[in-house]
A and B are shown apart, each in its own frame.
Chain A
Amino acid sequence: MAQRFRHDWPLLLMTLPAMAQLAVFFYWPSAWNIIAFMDYSPHRPFWENPLVGFAWFERLFNNPYFLPALLNTLKYSFANLLFLFPLSIVLALVMHSVVSTKVRSVFQSIVYLPYFFSWVLVVTVFVQTLGSDGLVSNWLLGFGGDRLSFMSNPDTFMFLAWLQWAWKDAGWGMIIFLAALASINPSLYEAAAVDGASRWRRMWHITLPGIRPVIVLLLILHIGGILTVGFEQYQLQRDAIGYQTTEVLDTFIYYRSVIGTEGASFGTAAGLFKGVIGLILVLIANNVAHRLGEQGIYQKS
């Protein structure tokens, strides 16, 4: 131990700024999770807030809107995992097979630039084109058709959300897989081609195994954040679609606690619940990954 410390101290030193940053912006705020167990009021000294045990959690689980919000969160999260994650991989594979650098860079820019748009912009663009007074609606009216109700129809919101994810996020996921693809040794492809492997064989036996660690890593990270499906997308479309369809855990906390009347402790309890579930899921996913022979999220020395 002492020898390793002598050996590695510059490395440890280099982690200090990051540790300090984490301490100020993560560990210190996290410590305040304790108010989830208190009848907290910002107007009295911290130690005078009475401890109430799990009373807030009880209230949280008894809240009739908590379970629907949780189910919505899981629904969107799994939909994202099932329908968007593979899309990114497919996009990356398509990109990877394009030889012309010119076509490639244009395609790449078009596909991943929307990632840098804010949700406000994404939703606005959708409203302007697909809204009931948008481009397509007015065009349809010109042909004697009807206005689209797509942007305010709760039944089709899942598809709408998927379109928005696909436009905004799929390209970004693609970039990460492209980086992984680039690290595959080209001589493997050449050798396989010489051995007479078809295009599909090469993809199955070289490309996919090559990016498997990255896929697993991203999957674990995604599972850890399974209760975090984003906030703005749902908040911005809440009024148009209705809360029953768009209420996810984050908006639930926002509307019930942050700007609602349930108080700070209630929101903290909900946030803590989210965090604990996320932690457990990451550990499980990581464990499974290790069992499957992957590196997972952390590695033992």
Chain B
Amino acid sequence: MATPSDGSIFRRRSLFKAAGLGAAGAAGLPFIAACSDIESGGGTSQTTEGFDFLPEYKEWPLPVEPDLVGEPPNHPSGFTTYPEPVPAIENLPSNSGTFEITVPMWGEAPSNDDPYFQAIAEASGGTTVNLRQADGNTFAETSVQWLNANEFGDGIMFFAWMLFAHPNFQETVVNSFYDLTDIVKGDISERWPLLAGLPTASWGQSVWSTDPNDPETARVFAIPGSFSGGSNNAMFARTDLLEEKGQALPTSVEELIEVARAVSDDANGRWAFGGLDYLTPSWFGLAGGDGWAYIDGKLVHNCERPEYTEWLEFRRLLWDEKLVHPDIPSGTLDGQALHKAGTIVFQLDGISWWQGFIDQSTAEGTGGTIAPLGALAAKGRKPLVHVNTSVDSWTFLNKDLSQEQVEEFLDFCNFASAPYGTTEYELINYGVEGTHFTYGPDGVPVFNEVGTTVVQAPVNHKTMSGHVQQFLSGAPDMVQARFEYNASLKEFAEVNIFEGMRVEGPADFKSAGQVLTDQQNDIAFGRAELSSIPDMVETWKTNGGETGREHYTAAYDKLHG
């Protein structure tokens, strides 16, 4: 062991001291310099109506009228027949640009080389839109960093429910995305007749303010997706499996539990349920959206209501009785595959799974029939149905694009907005005849296996911009059933207490909400006891819940006076 030489500047103690001094100095410097409060992430609220700079609405006449006429928005009209498609766009633009748009993708992403994408590029007038497909399950969260790094290609698509994950989405929007106002303002029906045919409310919901406190700074930042009213999610039952066990579709939560007990067989690998985290709160009358309900003169969050405990008791009961797939907590199961295989009898999914199941089980020959559960409620209460309150999605463009590029992309969106009954719609939604689909005996397109994997993806060009009108379409029996299903739900539709306004919660409210979700799962999967709910709610209140209530109450008061 060498003795340390005294001449060395790296003597042990002096290094220690120097490090300590440096750390203290570095830490003290900003403390002296300033000691103001954190202002970012305080949340915003802004109106989405009454703008004078939106595209002028000009009705785009439909080529065919729907044969099932509903009451939009919560009870949309539908088609049970397939009309001979007609072209929607008369003057095809001549473009040659290439765009790369980031989109969420559930399941296996198809290759961008498929003839489907080439056919779309040709039919749209030469614009190639390549999809950068990212995992839909983590899209909302991971997109925060792509946006910060400006690494999302030429544009990015978001579903309306994905915005919760962003600390301050308003700030992101106005700083990262192209301001479309000057391009789409006024009469655009000459160049983009289909975009001019989108509802004014859809465009209004695509407006963000640079300064949320100053209404004058409001601008259009996005191309709105479709507005499909009604419930967007459903609990789908394998009716064939229920029949096998002599069970009928349950009509209340209590019946559902009985049916679940009858169909589950833990030892032989069959369970009633997979995921149960969303939609199920509505069975107990809990609010949708950000979880606020206006009760007795004030805003009350779901977790503060007695029904919240009932809901968690329900989830825990199903878990304890082994009616839920035991690996569901891992979050890695492919619920749709399990549903097709009959491993789980009830699948909680987006409403598009109805058609998806029919297409996939037909193409793969796995068979089976499904139907969604109607509006359920517990203890004989009146059911509540969460319905869509805004456009389904938005496509945002990168602010670095040139005006010519944006205009070309709007050409493409104009093409993608073509409604049911047009050749454009057929190409985007079904692909190329013979390659991706064939006409069935009743004239309705039926996917083949290639079509199922490439075209039937839940997100691609068909969600790039909204259809001028959104209809129920697909297999005629399904359309008929879905039409009746919507009719049965509409009287229970939840009233949106923030209609006409977009409220973004403060960052700590969102963060407290994420923690609450984690704790809910702990209880639902037997890792924590139901008795811990009061503590959870207390923690939630002190760590963002009360801040959130103030924020949402202020917005509510502004709206309702």
Contacts and interface: CB of A to CB of B under 8 A. Distances in A.
Contacts of B55: none
Nearest to A42: B148
B41 A43 contact: no
A52 B144 contact: no
Interface string B520-548: 01100101100000000001000100000
Contact of B144 (A59, A259, A279): A259
Contact of A54 (B31, B172, B507, B508): B31
B36 interface: yes
Interface string A283-301: 1001100100101001111
A146 B423 CA distance: 57
A154 B527 CA distance: 7
A43 B175 CA distance: 6
Of the candidates A141, A149, A239, the one having the most CB atoms from chain B within 10 angstroms of its own CB is A239
B34 A53 contact: yes
Given A51-B34, A133-B269, A242-B521, A263 B1 contact: no
Interface in A25-71: 34, 37-43, 50-56, 59, 63-65
B113 interface: no
B439 interface: no
Given A261-B507, A261-B510, A242 B527 contact: yes
B326 A152 contact: yes
Contact of B527 (A244, A258, A299): A244
B539 A293 contact: no
Interface residues of B, number: 61
B295 interface: no
B141 interface: yes
Contacts of B11: 300
A300 B527 contact: no
Contacts of A242: 329, 518, 521-522, 525, 527-528
Contact of A300 (B4, B522, B525): B4
Contact of B41 (A51, A54, A261): A261
B507 to A, nearest CB: 5
B543 A63 contact: yes
A218 interface: no
B39 interface: yes
Contacts of B167: 260-263
Nearest to A240: B330
A217 to B, nearest CB: 14
A289 to B, nearest CB: 11
A239 B38 contact: no
A64 B2 contact: no
A42 B174 CA distance: 12
A127 interface: yes
B39 A276 contact: no
Interface string A140-162: 01000001010010100000000
A270 to B, nearest CB: 13
Contact of B31 (A53, A132, A243): A53
Given A39-B38, A132-B327, A287-B16, A262 B518 contact: no
B369 interface: no
Given A59-B38, A279-B23, 16 more contacts: A37-B30, A53-B30, A53-B31, A55-B36, A132-B327, A133-B327, A147-B326, A152-B326, A240-B330, A242-B521, A244-B528, A260-B511, A261-B510, A262-B511, A286-B12, A298-B10
- Nearest 6 pairs of A and B residues by beta carbon: A259-B141, A239-B331, A43-B175, A37-B30, A51-B34, A300-B4
